[in-house]
Chain A
Amino acid sequence: MSLKGKAAAIGIGELKPYREPTDDSALDLMAAVAAEAIADAGLEKKDIDGLLVGMASADPGMIYPSAIGELFDLRPRMLNVLDIGGASGAGMIWRAAAAIDAGMCRAVLCLTADLNRMGRRRPPMISLMYEFEAPYGAIGANCSYALIAQRHMAKYGTRPEQMAKVAVDQRRNALANPLAFFNDTPLTIDDVLNSRYICEPLHLFEIVSPMSGGAAVVVASPEVALRSKHSPVWLIGAGEGSDRCSVSYAPDITESAVKGAADAAFKMAGVDRKDIDLVCPYDCYTITVLVTLEDAGFCKKGQGGPFAMDHDLTFSGDFPCNTHGGQLSFGQPGLAGGMSHVTEGIRQLMGRGEQRQVRNARLAYVNGNGGIMSEQVSLILERVS
Chain B
Amino acid sequence: MSEYNKPLPQPSKTSRPFWDAAKRHELMLQRCEACAQFIYYPRARCPHCFSDRLVWRKCSGKGTLYSFTVVHRPATRLFADGPYVLAIVELEEGPRMTTNIAAPADQLKVDMPVTVFFDDVTPQCTLVKFKPA
Q: Which residues of A are interface residues toward B (Cβ below 8 A)?
A: 124-125, 129-140, 142-143, 146-148, 150-151, 154-155, 196-202, 246-249, 253
A137 lies within 8 A of B100 (CB): yes
Query: Who on chain B is nearest to A200 by CB?
Result: B70
**Among the listed stretches B4-12, B30-38, B49-57, which one makes contact with chain A, having 4 or more residues with CB under 8 Å of it?**
B4-12
Instruction: Please measure, in the bound complex, the distance between the C-alpha atom of A200 and the C-alpha atom of B69, giving whole angstroms.
Output: 5
Contact with A along B11-54 (1 / 0, CB 8 A): 11001000000000000000000000000110000000000000
Query: Who on chain A is nearest to B97 by CB?
Result: A248
Partner of B100, one of A136, A151, A197, A249: A136
25 contacts between A and B (CB under 8 A): A131-B10, A132-B97, A135-B6, A135-B8, A136-B99, A136-B127, A137-B74, A137-B84, A137-B100, A139-B76, A142-B75, A143-B69, A147-B87, A148-B67, A150-B69, A151-B67, A154-B109, A197-B72, A197-B73, A198-B72, A199-B69, A199-B70, A199-B72, A200-B105, A201-B69
Instruction: Please measure, in the bound complex, the distance between the C-alpha atom of A47 and the C-alpha atom of B130, giving whole angstroms.
Output: 60
Instruction: Give the residues in chain A near B117, CB-CB below 8 Å.
Output: none
Query: Who on chain A is nearest to B110 by CB?
Result: A154
Assuming the contacts A137-B74, A140-B75, asked whether A147 and B41 have C-beta atoms less than 8 A apart, the reply is no
Query: Who on chain B is nearest to A127 by CB?
Result: B98
Instruction: Please measure, in the bound complex, the distance between the C-alpha atom of A253 and the C-alpha atom of B69, giving whole angstroms.
Output: 14
Residue B118 CB within 8 A of the other chain:
no
Query: Who on chain B is nearest to A134 by CB?
Result: B7
Instruction: Give the residues in chain B near A142, CB-CB below 8 Å.
Output: 71, 73, 75
A253 lies within 8 A of B71 (CB): no
A129 lies within 8 A of B84 (CB): no
Query: Who on chain B is nearest to A138 by CB?
Result: B98
Instruction: Give the residues in chain B near A133, CB-CB below 8 Å.
Output: 98
A139 lies within 8 A of B75 (CB): yes
B72 lies within 8 A of A139 (CB): no
Query: Who on chain A is nearest to B121 by CB?
Result: A135
Across the A-B interface, how many residue pairs have beta carbons closer than 8 Å?
Answer: 107
B86 lies within 8 A of A200 (CB): no
B9 lies within 8 A of A135 (CB): yes
Instruction: Give the residues in chain A near B79, CB-CB below 8 Å.
Output: 137, 139
Instruction: Give the residues in chain B near A129, CB-CB below 8 Å.
Output: 41
Instruction: Please measure, in the bound complex, the distance between the C-alpha atom of A151 and the C-alpha atom of B66, giving whole angstroms.
Output: 7
Query: Who on chain B is nearest to A154 by CB?
Result: B110
Instruction: Please measure, in the bound complex, the distance between the C-alpha atom of A140 and the C-alpha atom of B80, giving whole angstroms.
Output: 14
Chain B interface size band reads: 35 or more
Contact with A along B83-98 (1 / 0, CB 8 A): 0101110000000111
Instruction: Please measure, in the bound complex, the distance between the C-alpha atom of A248 and the C-alpha atom of B74, giving whole angstroms.
Output: 18
A199 lies within 8 A of B10 (CB): no
Residue B111 CB within 8 A of the other chain:
yes
Instruction: Give the residues in chain A near B72, CB-CB below 8 Å.
Output: 196-200
Assuming the contacts A133-B98, A147-B86, A151-B67, asked whether A139 and B74 have C-beta atoms less than 8 A apart, the reply is yes
Query: Who on chain A is nearest to B66 by CB?
Result: A151
Instruction: Please measure, in the bound complex, the distance between the C-alpha atom of A154 and the C-alpha atom of B129, giving whole angstroms.
Output: 22
Query: Who on chain B is nearest to A253 by CB?
Result: B67
CB distance from B20 to the nearest CB of A (A): 14
A150 lies within 8 A of B127 (CB): no
Query: Who on chain A is nearest to B108 by CB?
Result: A150
Query: Who on chain B is nearest to A153 by CB?
Result: B110
CB distance from A151 to the nearest CB of B (A): 4
Q: Which 9 A/B pairs are nearest by Cβ-Cβ distance?
A: A140-B75, A154-B110, A146-B69, A200-B70, A151-B67, A134-B7, A147-B67, A248-B98, A132-B41
B66 lies within 8 A of A143 (CB): no
Instruction: Please measure, in the bound complex, the distance between the C-alpha atom of A290 and the C-alpha atom of B110, giving whole angstroms.
Output: 20
Instruction: Please measure, in the bound complex, the distance between the C-alpha atom of A200 and the C-alpha atom of B68, giving whole angstroms.
Output: 9
A132 lies within 8 A of B69 (CB): no
Instruction: Give the residues in chain A near B69, CB-CB below 8 Å.
Output: 143, 146-147, 150, 199-202
Instruction: Give the residues in chain B near A198, CB-CB below 8 Å.
Output: 72-73
A246 lies within 8 A of B73 (CB): no
Partner of A150, one of B9, B68, B75, B76: B68
Query: Who on chain A is nearest to B15 by CB?
Result: A131
Instruction: Please measure, in the bound complex, the distance between the C-alpha atom of A150 and the C-alpha atom of B110, giving whole angstroms.
Output: 8
B111 lies within 8 A of A154 (CB): yes
Query: Who on chain B is nearest to A130 by CB?
Result: B7
Query: Who on chain A is nearest to B77 by CB?
Result: A124
Instruction: Give the residues in chain B near A140, CB-CB below 8 Å.
Output: 74-76
Instruction: Please measure, in the bound complex, the distance between the C-alpha atom of A197 and the C-alpha atom of B74, giving whole angstroms.
Output: 11
Instruction: Give the residues in chain A near B67, CB-CB below 8 Å.
Output: 147-148, 150-151, 154, 253
Instruction: Please measure, in the bound complex, the distance between the C-alpha atom of A125 and the C-alpha atom of B110, giving whole angstroms.
Output: 27
A253 lies within 8 A of B88 (CB): yes
Instruction: Give the residues in chain A near B88, CB-CB below 8 Å.
Output: 147, 247-248, 253
